[in-house]
């Protein structure tokens, strides 16, 4: 399939997990992909595999993004981290960092990409949100707040970008098989003295009707479709991929 031939794409957090899967899926459809990540070696490895480019970037350094100009046709805002703590114990700087990474940095990248997209009358912005952009869980105050904020950014971008041929959507997976989730499972298993499979079934997947993790390639398939020409009328949407969690 080459329906994205001649298009350029930028994927943040592209060195591993969902981001790497998205980079591969977009490249498979013909896009020239730039893999952006704080992990310099990881980004270079994925980019080399795809014949693309890598961008070593610390998205917490927002001052460096304020004057950025991006000539990309497709922007996938994927970079993110998790931190689990009760609100009264949540470190304020850690809260700010998560919001910076998952709301302010995407805003600055969208801001940097829109002029080019507007000039050519075509653009695709896909924001990797989460079921936590639609539902809350305890002990994840920064992540839930950030993902709700990302949903708002995406919708406003859809309204402003629509007249210029630019779409903006969110993809909202449940727990995805990534290093981030593997670490959460291991940490909770160690903390509670239970097997990792028990954590998976009785903690992470309690709300899901389908009792398995989402695979990164499944998320990437939806992302690549949203970036494709046939999704030109799809904008301002949030696509759940959570095994039925948000149906409750």
Catalytic site positions: 143
**Dist. CA 73–CA 79, nearest whole Å:** 18
Tokens of 148: 């709700």
- Are 174 and 131 in contact, with CB atoms under 8 Å apart? yes
193 torsion bin: left (phi>0), alpha (psi -120 to 50), beta (else): left
Q: Which of 80, 41, 100, 44 is nearest to 172 (CA)?
A: 80
E runs forming strands in the chain: 8-12, 32-37, 53-56, 74-77, 123-128, 166-173, 238-241
DSSP string, 3-48: TTTT-EEEEETTTSHHHHHHHHHHHHTT-EEEEEES-HHHHHHHHH
Token reading at 21: 């899967």
Any bridge partners for residue 171, and if so which? 128, 239
Report long-range pairs for 44-50 (Cβ below 8 Å, ≥24 apart). Answer: 45/15, 46/14, 46/15, 46/16, 46/20, 47/14, 47/23, 49/24, 50/23, 50/24
């Amino acid at each position: 399939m080459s329906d994205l031939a001649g298009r350029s794409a930028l994927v943040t957090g592209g060195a591993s997990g969902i981001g790497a899967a998205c980079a591969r899926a977009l490249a498979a459809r013909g896009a020239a992909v730039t893999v952006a990540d704080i992990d310099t070696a990881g980004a270079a490895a994925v980019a080399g595999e795809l014949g693309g480019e890598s961008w070593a970037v610390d998205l917490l350094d927002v001052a460096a993004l304020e004057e950025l100009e991006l000539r990309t046709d497709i922007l996938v805002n994927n970079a993110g981290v998790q931190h689990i703590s009760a609100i009264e114990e949540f470190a304020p700087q850690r809260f700010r960092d998560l919001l910076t990474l998952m709301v302010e940095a995407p805003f600055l990248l969208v801001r940097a990409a829109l002029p080019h997209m507007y000039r050519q009358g075509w653009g695709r912005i896909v924001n990797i949100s989460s079921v936590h952009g639609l539902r809350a869980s305890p002990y994840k105050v920064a992540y839930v707040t950030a993902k709700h904020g990302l949903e708002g950014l995406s919708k406003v971008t859809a309204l402003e970008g629509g007249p210029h041929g630019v779409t903006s959507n969110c993809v909202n997976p449940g727990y995805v098989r990534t290093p981030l989730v593997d670490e959460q499972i291991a940490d909770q298993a160690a903390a509670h003295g239970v097997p990792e499979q028990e954590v998976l079934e009785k903690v992470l997947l309690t709300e899901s009707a389908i009792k398995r993790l989402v695979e990164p390639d499944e998320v990437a398939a939806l992302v690549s479709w949203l970036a494709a020409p046939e999704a030109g009328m799809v904008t301002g949407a949030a696509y759940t991929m959570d095994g039925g969690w948000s149906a409750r």
